[in-house]
Amino acid sequence: MNNLHSKIHSYTGIFMLVLFSCSFNSDEPVNSDLQRVLDKALSKYNVKGVSASIIYPDWSVWNGVSGISYDTVSIEPDMLYAIGSITKNFVAALTFKLIEEGILALDDPISKWLPPYNHIDSTITIRQLLNHTSGIYMYFSNQQIWDDLKKDRTKVWRPDEVLNYIKEPYFDPGEGFRYSNTNYLLLAMIIEKISGSTLSSQFKKYFWQPLNIKHAYLSIQEDIPNNQAHVFGDNFNNDGSYKDLTFLPRASHESIGFGSAGLFMTAHDLAYWCQSLFEGNILTKQSISEMLKFVPTGFGGNMDGYGLGVQRYRRQITNGQIAYGHSGANIGTSASMVYLPDYHISVVVMINDMNHDCTETIVKKIIDVLVKNIKNI
């Protein structure tokens, strides 16, 4: 693997490297502006804590925190957060690793790897799972699975048990877009079948060890260290309660989300992953090109296109800038991973509350600070 700090693809990249090195490395006014963004957002949305990380084209880093984890314990940059659906981006990247090795192909039907399941068309392809054009029903939309989950939050569900909650598909394969966690549950099942190993082991083999990422853990398959930012909410009880949920039983929720969620990471390690991925240090150019083939997602939400494990953000979320990456949420958390291709910058924001408005506001304001300072050079 090329040295991550020296790999530049063009003279334009070299120019931007010099430009950003001069502009941001020790720019205290910019750092102060970024810190104010975090502080003001917590106050506005009444959120307890935030951790953010920015990686610039020269791989210099800004890590910022604000607020508390719990009681009088401040948020620290090395605290872990559940990144929710951003996990899909890692599963997609792992799928591409297998494609690059010639084990999988984007147009393989899932029948090549999995047995038949009710309400799942066996002709659905790997590509259609990755970009949510399979039409497969989203099991979280079935209220019965929530009711059963709450009966025993310590239960570890098997994937085949989760698939029992699937109903009729939304549409025929390839005939539309519908975001569905079921797609990534199936991808995780395929990866484990091909590898004969666990998803967490494959993450370590292909990503954590080569990239020297030391703070990434997959729930259910790995123990999560106690240096988590405490998280708050009602544990999906919809009863209006608001309490510390950090160490309450959550095995059932985590196992049901297998493949579509489950990773815990620090803001910095997630930003480092983002920069490494989209700067071309993990997958081939061909794989990245396929990843960035976006299909329209329709109206609403924070994205206007979805690629193969990558969402393209709506411009109002990113202060008018072209941006892609992924967002996610889990019990008591909200997170965004954003890459700005025009500036070769990665931004990650994590908060210890499931408040997407807060996360999106922070992302937008951070991008505003960065772009204004670039344009003022």
Tens of pLDDT along 363-373? 999 999 999 99
Q: How confident is the model at residue 376 (pLDDT cuts 50, 70, 90)?
A: low
Mean pLDDT to the nearest integer, 173-196: 98
Topology of the domain comprising 88-211: Beta-lactamase (3.40.710)
Mean pLDDT lowest among 16-25, 179-188, 202-211:
16-25
pLDDT at residue 303, rounded to an integer: 95
106, with CB counted inside 10 A (0-12, 13-18, 19+), is middle
CA pseudo-torsion sign 191, 197, 200, 203: negative
Q: What is the mean pLDDT of the chain?
A: 92
The model's pTM: 0.92
Pairing outcome for strands 345-351 and 333-340: antiparallel
Tell me: pLDDT of 21 over 70: no
Token couple for 338: 């954003």
Tell me: pLDDT of 46 over 90: yes
* C-alpha distances in Å from residue 271, one per residue of 86, 116, 137, 218: 12, 38, 31, 17
Mean pLDDT to the nearest integer, 276-289: 98
Q: Which alpha helices (H) appear in 101-168, and where do they start and end?
A: 126-130, 143-151, 159-163
Query: What is the C-alpha to C-alpha distance for residues 122 and 129, in angstroms, rounded to an integer?
Result: 12
Would the CATH topology of 11-83+221-239+266-375 be identical to that of 88-211?
Answer: yes
Q: How confident is the model at residue 239 (pLDDT cuts 50, 70, 90)?
A: confident
Residue 291's closest CA among 89, 37, 52?
Answer: 89
> What ranges do the domains of the chain cover?
11-83+221-239+266-375, 88-211
Query: For the structural domain made of 11-83+221-239+266-375, what CATH number should be given?
Result: 3.40.710.10
What b/e sequence results for 256-277 when a residue is b if at least 16 CB atoms lie within 10 Å of its CB, and e otherwise?
bbbbbbbbbbbbbbbbbbbbbb
> Which amino acid, residue 289?
S
